[in-house]
Amino acid sequence: MSLCLEVDDLERAIAHLRTLGYQPPGEISTASHGREIYAYDPQGNRLILHQSWDMG
């Protein structure tokens, strides 16, 4: 299963995962729609943390 979570501050979300003991295994990806990184929960489900570009 994959779960996509939109966050306001990707770096802060990654830091929070690290404090919980879940270091994302890769780097932040940049795409036309924003930035994202994958992480995994204890059962191996993929979590996609996504931050949209600020359109304001």
Give me the pLDDT at residue 27, please.
95
CATH of the domain at 38: 3.10.180.10
Domain of 43, in residue numbers: 2-52
Q: What is the pLDDT along the chain (56 residues), one digit of tens a residue?
A: 899 999 999 999 999 999 998 889 999 999 888 999 999 988 999 999 999 987 54
Q: Helical H runs in the chain?
A: 10-19
What distances in angstroms separate CA 42 from CA 12, 14, 45, 52, one per listed residue?
Answer: 20, 16, 7, 26
Separation of alpha carbons 26 and 39, rounded Å: 8
Count how many domains the chain has: 1
